[in-house]
Chain A
Amino acid sequence: MKVGTVLMMRSKDFMSWADDWVGRVMKKGPIGRAVDTLLTDFWTWARVNSLYPLHFGIMCCALEMAAASGARFDAQRIGVIYRSTPRQCDMLLVNGPVSKKLRPDLRRLYDQMSEPKWVVAMGECAISGGPFWNTYSVIEGVDQFIPVDVYIPGCPVRPEAMIEGFMKLQDKIRKEKKGPLTEEMV
Chain B
Amino acid sequence: MAAGPSAFQSRLAKELPPLLDNAQLDFKAKDDFLATLTCDKGNVLKLGKILSEKFGFEHLSLITTVDRIERFELVYQITSYQNHCMLEVRVAVPKDDAKVPSVTPVWGGANWHEREAYDMMGIVFEGHPDPRRILLPQDYKYFPLRKDFKMDGE
Contacts and interface: CB of A to CB of B under 8 A. Distances in A.
Nearest to A100: B137
B136 A137 contact: yes
Interface string B76-114: 000000000000000000000000000000000000000
Interface in A11-58: none
Interface residue tally on B, bucketed by range: under 10
Contacts of B136: 100-101, 136-137
Classify the secondary structure of B's interface with A.
loop
B140 A100 contact: yes
A112 interface: no
A129 to B, nearest CB: 12
A85 interface: no
Contacts of A84: none
A70 B144 CA distance: 40
Interface in A101-120: 101
A182 interface: no
Given A135-B151, A137-B135, 15 more contacts: A100-B136, A100-B137, A100-B140, A101-B135, A101-B136, A101-B137, A134-B151, A136-B136, A136-B142, A136-B144, A136-B149, A136-B151, A136-B154, A137-B136, A137-B144
17 contacts: A100-B136, A100-B137, A100-B140, A101-B135, A101-B136, A101-B137, A134-B151, A135-B151, A136-B136, A136-B142, A136-B144, A136-B149, A136-B151, A136-B154, A137-B135, A137-B136, A137-B144
Interface of B: 135-137, 140, 142, 144, 149, 151, 154
